[in-house]
C-alpha cells in the first residue's frame, strides 16, 4: 500500500459491521466510523477523506440519499464512493452506479477483494503496473454482479490462474485498459449492461475481439445458449458447476487460443488458403463449444455436422468461412484463396450466380471449386461440372474424406 495512510470514512448503522471492517483493514488504511449519514457529514466538516464506504439500508437518510447529497455538493462531489452492502440484486447495483458510485461490493466479501477494489481507486497506475507484472500464469477476468460468486470462483481457481474479479461491465472495460486477459468469464444477468451486450461490445472492438469468453451463468436455457454462441461466446456453463469441469473448459479455450495464434503467426509455412461458403456457418461461434469430447448438450449433434469442416482443415490450411454468397465479392477484393468449398444451395441462388462471379475474375479462372451437398439423389459429378465446379463431396463427411478431396485438387505451394 506504500507509506501513505489513506483516510476512509465507513458509514453503516450496524456497529458490528463498522468494527469488523475497521479491524480487518486497519493495517492498510486510517478508518473513521460513522453510524449514520448525519454523522458522516459532521466528519466532513472537519476533513476531506480519500474515500467513503457507504451502506445502503440505514435509518433516516439511506445510502442512496447520501450519495445524492455528496454528488450535488461541490465540496464532496469528487470523493469516490464505494457501496459496501448486503444488497446484491440487479436493481440495487444499477441504482448505486447510476447515482455516481465508483464501485459496488456486496457482502460477504474477502479482505483481499475489498482491498483490491479500494486500491483501484487510490492507485490506478500502480494497479495497472501490478496487472502487467502478473504474467507468469494465464490471466482471467471474471465478471459477475454478485460478489459471493466472484469470491467463490477466485478461491477455486486462484492456484492455477491470475483471477481479476469485476462486478460491472464498466469496471470490466476499465480493467481492459490495463490488461488484456487470456480469457473472460462472463455472467449474463448484470446491471446496466448485461452479458450479451458486453459480448457484443467485446467482439466489435478489434482490441478484444480475439479474447475467448465463457458464459458462466445461472441462466440455463437453450435460447440463451444459442444467443450466446451467435454473439461469439466460446463456451457456456450453467451454475452450479464442479471445479474440474470449469478448469477443463478453461484449459480447452486457452490451449485452443495458443494453437490458433500459432497458426495465425506461422507465416513461414505459407499454407494454402480455402474459402468455404455455407449458410450453416452463421453459427460458427458455436464450434469450439460443441466439438469437444466432454460436451454432450442438446446442440452437439447439430453443430458437429455443420462445423466439422473447420476443425478438419485448420491445422493444414488457412480456412476462411462465409455464410452469405453476397459476402464473397467483398472478400475476394482482399484475399485470393487457392480453393473454394461451396454449398450446393449457393450455386443455384437466385440472388447471385456465385460460380460465374468467381470465374469472371482472371485470377480464379482455374481455381478449384468443390461442391458441398446433402442431396444424394442426383449425379453430383455431372452437376458439379455443369455448374463450373471440379468435384463434389456429400454431407455429412468425415475429416479424412474432406482432406483427401482437397489434396487432390489444391495446387502445391
The closest of 191, 183, 184 to 167, measured between CA atoms, is: 191
Helix 15-25 with 111-122: angle, nearest 10 deg: 70
Cell of 61: 437518510
Beta strands 51-54 and 81-85 are parallel
Over residues 121-172, the pLDDT tens digits come to: 887 666 555 555 555 688 999 998 887 888 888 888 888 898 888 888 888 8
Distances from the Cα of 161 to the Cα of 67, 157, 179, 181, angstroms: 36, 6, 14, 11
Measure the N-to-C terminal CA separation of the chain; round to a whole number of Å: 58
The residue ranges of every structural domain in the chain are 7-117, 123-261, 266-409
Distances from the Cα of 141 to the Cα of 182, 251, 285, angstroms: 8, 15, 20
Whether the CA torsion 87, 89, 93, 95 is positive or negative: it is: negative
Cβ 140 vs Cβ 117: under 8 Å? no
In this predicted structure, the answer to whether residue 119 has a pLDDT above a threshold of 70 is: yes
Q: Please state the CATH superfamily assignment of the domain spanning residues 266-409 in this structure.
A: Response regulator (3.40.50.2300)
CATH of domain 7-117: 3.40.50.2300
Which phi and psi (to 5°) does residue 165 adopt?
-80, 135
Measured between alpha carbons, how far is 184 from 140 in angstroms, rounded to an integer?
A: 6
More confident residue, 376 or 402: 402
Specify the range with the lowest mean pLDDT, choosing from 18-27, 59-68, 201-210, 401-410. Answer: 401-410
Task: List Cβ<8 Å contacts ≥24 apart for 351-354.
Answer: 351/325, 351/326, 352/325, 352/326, 352/328, 354/277, 354/325, 354/328
More confident residue, 95 or 259: 95
Cell of 251: 484449459
Measured between alpha carbons, how far is 235 from 288 in angstroms, rounded to an integer?
A: 7
More confident residue, 39 or 292: 39
More confident residue, 219 or 229: 229
pLDDT (0 to 100) of residue 257: 61
Strands of 235-238's sheet in order across: 162-166, 139-143, 183-186, 213-217, 235-238
Question: What is the CB neighbour count within 10 angstroms for residue 83?
Answer: 25
What percentage of the chain carries pLDDT values higher than 70? 74
Examine domains 7-117 and 266-409 and report if their fold is the same. yes
The closest of 76, 127, 120 to 102, measured between CA atoms, is: 120
Over residues 54-70, the pLDDT tens digits come to: 999 898 899 999 999 99
Over residues 251-275, the pLDDT tens digits come to: 888 876 655 554 444 444 577 888 8
Q: 123-261 is classed in which CATH architecture?
A: 3-Layer(aba) Sandwich (3.40)
Stretch 388-408: mean pLDDT, rounded? 78
Amino acid at each position: 500500500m506504500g507509506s501513505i495512510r489513506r483516510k476512509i470514512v465507513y458509514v453503516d448503522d450496524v456497529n458490528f459491521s463498522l468494527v469488523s471492517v475497521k479491524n480487518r483493514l486497519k493495517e492498510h488504511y486510517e478508518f473513521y466510523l460513522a453510524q449514520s449519514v448525519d454523522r458522516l457529514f459532521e466528519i466532513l466538516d472537519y476533513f476531506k477523506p480519500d474515500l467513503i464506504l457507504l451502506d445502503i439500508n440505514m435509518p433516516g437518510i439511506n445510502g442512496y440519499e447520501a450519495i445524492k447529497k455528496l454528488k450535488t455538493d461541490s465540496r464532496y462531489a469528487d470523493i469516490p464512493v464505494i457501496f459496501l452492502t448486503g444488497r446484491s440484486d440487479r436493481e440495487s447495483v444499477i441504482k448505486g452506479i447510476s447515482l455516481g458510485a465508483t464501485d459496488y461490493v456486496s457482502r460477504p466479501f474477502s479482505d483481499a477483494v475489498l482491498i483490491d477494489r479500494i486500491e483501484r481507486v487510490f492507485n490506478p497506475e500502480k494497479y495497472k503496473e501490478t496487472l502487467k507484472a502478473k504474467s507468469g500464469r494465464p490471466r482471467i477476468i471474471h465478471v459477475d454482479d454478485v460478489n459471493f460468486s466472484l469470491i467463490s470462483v477466485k478461491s477455486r481457481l486462484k492456484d492455477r490462474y491470475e483471477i481479476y474479479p469485476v462486478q460491472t461491465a464498466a469496471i470490466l472495460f476499465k480493467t481492459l485498459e490495463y490488461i488484456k486477459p487470456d480469457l473472460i468469464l462472463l455472467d449474463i444477468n448484470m446491471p446496466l449492461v448485461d452479458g450479451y451486450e458486453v459480448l457484443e461490445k467485446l467482439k466489435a472492438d478489434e482490441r478484444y475481439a480475439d479474447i475467448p469468453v465463457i458464459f458462466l451463468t445461472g441462466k440455463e436455457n437453450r435460447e440463451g445458449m444459442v444467443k450466446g454462441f451467435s454473439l461469439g461466446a466460446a463456451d457456456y456453463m450453467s451454475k452450479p458447476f464442479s471445479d474440474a469441469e470449469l478448469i477443463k473448459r478453461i484449459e480447452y479455450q486457452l490451449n485452443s487460443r495458443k494453437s490458433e495464434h500459432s497458426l495465425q503467426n506461422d507465416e513461414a509455412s505459407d499454407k494454402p488458403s480455402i474459402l468455404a461458403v455455407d449458410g450453416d456457418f452463421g453459427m460458427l461461434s458455436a464450434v469450439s463449444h460443441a466439438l469437444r469430447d466432454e460436451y454432450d448438450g442438446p446442440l452437439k449433434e447439430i453443430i458437429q455436422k455443420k462445423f466439422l469442416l473447420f476443425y478438419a482443415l485448420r491445422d493444414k490450411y488457412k480456412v476462411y468461412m462465409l455464410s452469405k454468397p453476397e459476402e464473397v465479392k467483398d472478400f475476394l477484393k482482399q484475399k485470393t484463396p487457392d480453393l473454394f468449398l461451396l454449398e450446393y444451395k449457393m450455386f443455384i441462388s437466385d440472388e447471385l450466380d456465385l460460380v460465374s462471379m468467381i470465374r469472371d475474375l482472371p485470377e480464379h479462372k482455374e481455381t478449384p471449386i468443390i461442391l458441398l451437398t446433402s442431396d444424394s439423389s442426383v449425379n453430383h459429378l455431372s452437376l458439379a461440372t455443369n455448374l463450373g465446379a471440379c468435384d463434389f463431396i456429400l454431407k455429412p463427411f468425415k475429416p479424412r474424406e474432406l482432406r483427401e478431396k482437397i489434396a487432390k485438387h489444391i495446387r502445391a505451394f
